[in-house]
Chain A
Amino acid sequence: GENVEQHPSTLSVQEGDSAVIKCTYSDSASNYFPWYKQELGKRPQLIIDIRSNVGEKKDQRIAVTLNKTAKHFSLHITETQPEDSAVYFCAATSGGYQKVTFGTGTKLQVIP
């Protein structure tokens, strides 16, 4: 089955700096890669996603890149703000059967 590895597990950055979280996946059939943000005590919420026919996607301060050959994808947050502090999960989904495999999460702390 699919295996998703996520690094780092914790990340501290100064406000205004950039943060990068990396994930690798094992199933070459995976074709949809969402990123979720989970604030303390709240539900995970989608912040950005990318499909396998696209190499990069950007939404304001957030961007995701995908390298299908190497089977890895990354989340980039620029100009970080304290409200970006949360746990971020990457995930890989294969086919139309919505089998989603999540990474183990990255706890991001943005220091004011």
Chain B
Amino acid sequence: NAGVTQTPKFQVLKTGQSMTLQCAQDMNHNSMYWYRQDPGMGLRLIYYSASEGTTDKGEVPNGYNVSRLNKREFSLRLESAAPSQTSVYFCASSTWTGGTQQETQYFGPGTRLLVL
């Protein structure tokens, strides 16, 4: 049982390049999330998907796009990378289906991205 997997683990981009971060979960979770983590800032939500076929903006969506390809996979795309997007990106999933129920978010190992 792999849980949440992310690829790649590390990436270096030049300003203006594009790339897609991949995320997959094998826990049959409805909800998936993309966060970025910067020093002193905590994790900030970029986009989330509460179910297959739906996506919603989080706190910091500018410069990113997402695709919920199917229930398992949720990708994050940087169309034109900027140095401000240098960060550690975490994908997560949970059983949340909306509402106030408690949920545990399970995180992938992260992707470290450096934009020069």
On whether the two chains bind one another, the answer is no
Could you list which residues of chain B lie within 8 angstroms of chain A, going by C-beta atoms? none
Could you list which residues of chain A lie within 8 angstroms of chain B, going by C-beta atoms? none
